[in-house]
């Protein structure tokens, strides 16, 4: 898992697919900013594919937990083939 600002990449870049999580909205909670909306994308890692071809699935979830839940399912299924 790699984080850069509000973007998190989950998976191994040497695999055929990875997940990108982009936090699009936050709300304060006890002094912290918690992700309230997260865009989840299943991406191909093929460097020869166009940006449009790399995006396999997209969804928006409420909260990081729900986003990680669907991300794990998508990535597992994609890597199993």
Parse the chain into domains and list their residue ranges.
Answer: 2-80
For residue 52, the model assigns a pLDDT of 95
First to last CA, the chain: 22
Give pLDDT, residue 81. 84
Q: Quote the mean pLDDT of the chain.
A: 97
Coil, helix or strand at residue 11: coil
| Structural contact between residues 41 and 23, judged by C-beta atoms closer than 8 angstroms | no
18 pLDDT above the threshold of 90? yes
- The rounded Cα 36 to chain-centroid distance in angstroms is 14
């Amino acid at each position: 898992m790699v984080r850069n600002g509000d973007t998190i990449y989950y998976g191994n870049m040497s695999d055929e697919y990875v997940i990108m999580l982009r936090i699009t909205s936050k709300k304060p909670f006890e002094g912290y900013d918690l992700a309230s909306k997260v865009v989840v994308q299943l991406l191909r890692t093929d460097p020869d594919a166009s940006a449009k071809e790399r995006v396999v699935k997209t969804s928006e979830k409420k909260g990081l937990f729900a986003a990680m839940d669907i991300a794990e399912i998508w990535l597992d299924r994609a890597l199993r083939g």
